[in-house]
Amino acid sequence: MELTITLENPQKLGALFGPADRHLKMIRQTLGVQIFARAGQIKLTGSAGNVSKAAAVLQELQRKLRHSDVITADIVTQALSAAAVRAKQESADIVTLEVRKAWRDLTEAAKRHRVQLDSLILAQKRFDNTFLLLQYGRLPGELDVFSR
């Protein structure tokens, strides 16, 4: 996946990237994404989940830069941790939704199965009753349809 982020304040590029691009290297190494910066934009490339996390980290760092001129390695680490926690929570939410959907599907299938079973029982009762009516409702000289 590829995502391009426009920098809010290109004048604070040095603070965002860190000394010798240290902050970008931390993000790149932690999340396994490629980061390219050019003309006031940052391009992220990698797996969808990791690109999403990296984008969240960079947005958080830009938000911090609105109120401060300095971004430290600790702030980058905190942003990376927060992104990981959010991603974990999102994964848990997805699993919860999938389990709920599977439960609904199973419940609906059980209801359909019960209706089919009730129909089968009713059909068997009708057959039995029809058979008894035919067996006992015949006159002694009538042709036996079931004996052929």
Q: Which residue has the tokens 């603070």?
A: 15
52 located within any domain = yes
In this structure, is residue 103 part of a structural domain?
no
Burial class (CB in 10 A: 0-12, 13-18, 19+), 43: middle
Residue 125 covered by a domain:
no
* Residue-number span of the structural domain to which 21 is assigned: 2-88
Number of structural domains in the chain: 1
130 inside domain: no
Cα–Cα distances in angstroms (integers) from residue 45 to residues 12, 35, 87, in the given order: 23, 7, 18
pLDDT given at position 91:
86
Instruction: Identify the pLDDT of residue 32.
Output: 92
Q: Is residue 29 part of a domain?
A: yes
- Cβ neighbors of 4 (< 8 A, separation 6 or more) are 41, 42, 43, 44
Q: Is residue 55 part of a domain?
A: yes
pLDDT, tens digit only, all 148 positions of the chain: 999 998 888 888 889 999 999 999 999 999 999 999 888 899 999 998 899 999 999 999 999 999 888 899 999 999 999 988 888 888 899 999 999 999 999 999 999 999 999 999 999 999 998 888 888 876 555 555 555 5
| CATH code (residue 26) | 3.30.1370.10
This prediction has a pTM of 0.60
Q: Assess if residue 124 is contained within a domain.
A: no
Is 8 a member of any domain?
yes
